[in-house]
Amino acid sequence: MVKIEYLTPASPEERKRYYREEWNIKQVPEYIIQSIQEREFGFDHVGRGPNDRYKVFRTPDLLKRFLKVRTPFAAYCSVAFYDKPRRRDRWTKAELVFDVDAKDIPVRTCECEGVCEICLNEAREIVLGIIDTLKGDLGLQNIHVVYSGRGYHIRVLDNDVMSVNTDVRSQIVKYLVGADVPENEYSLDFEKVSYEHFVIPFGYPNVFTKRVKYAILHLNENSELDEVNKKLLKDVLKHRQLIELDNWGMFKNKIGPQRYRKVIKGIASMNMSLVDAKVSIDLKRILRLPSSLHSMVSMKCTEVKNIETFDPFDDAVPKFVYER
């Protein structure tokens, strides 16, 4: 197994070896190859961010030649489709995307400064939860997962969401991550009744309950939640085994209803950081090209066939890393 200290930048010579000896155009997902003429490509040649934008390739073979000759530090392609991609003109639609970066997860059980096996696995858990909601609640099916090098990209190509605007994408993000505390008062037979989110086993309250459960089970004594002081955090950690057993009512009673409300408000606010919302609402975003090299950590940006069994330290390590 590759150790974390191996996640170091690739040298120019290693980049050349990767693109000229290991990389293959067949590793680029079919959903990109089929639309290659409609997408903008971008490249970073020196490690300071994508500075070579507005590239277009009429055929996969032209993209192949470019990568093998230029061996870039990073390669990207747009989630947007254009009639004239060279000028990013006449936008037609865009994938709905979600960026889960392990180093930016708001609650992690590890204490690493970058990424490690623990937080990468926790990023995978978050991805699994989002995919479950995309399929179960939104009925979406054309979903692809890409290991980005330090986390995961979820790319949705269902026609129902490809043309939606920024506002709708923002609402979808909030729903998926559980960023709003659900209303707990309902009208029933002309009377108002109150139900907590955890007693409603469907729809948004159910999604919210799952996200709150994930957050509480991953908090530690150094976690920070809006309006949650150290004493309240300590009580949450003390009684969270009740959440693990889905004894929500007992948990709420242990810490007190008012304090419980503070906790879920704090978690709802924090949940917006589970994904990079700026990426999701950007209709012209470029993302790392699946199959390209993440040179900062010497990992392959890899299309994930089975997220349940995917292990980046088995499936996304370039050969040159083993030969260092």
Residues marked active site are found at: 99, 101, 276
Six token digits for residue 121: 């696995």
Q: List, in order, residues 6 or more apart from 261 with CB less than 8 Å away.
A: none
Q: Return d(Cα 271, Cα 288) in angstroms, integer.
A: 24
CA dihedral sign of residues 221, 227, 232, 238? negative
Kindly provide the b/e burial profile for residues 299-312, where b requires at least 16 CB atoms within 10 angstroms of the residue's own CB.
Answer: bbbbbbeeeeebeb
Cβ-based burial of 167 (10 A; exposed 0-12, middle 13-18, buried ≥19): exposed
Helix-then-strand count for the chain, H and E: 14, 14
Q: Return d(Cα 91, Cα 240) in angstroms, integer.
A: 48
Q: Which residues pair with 304 in a beta bridge?
A: 145
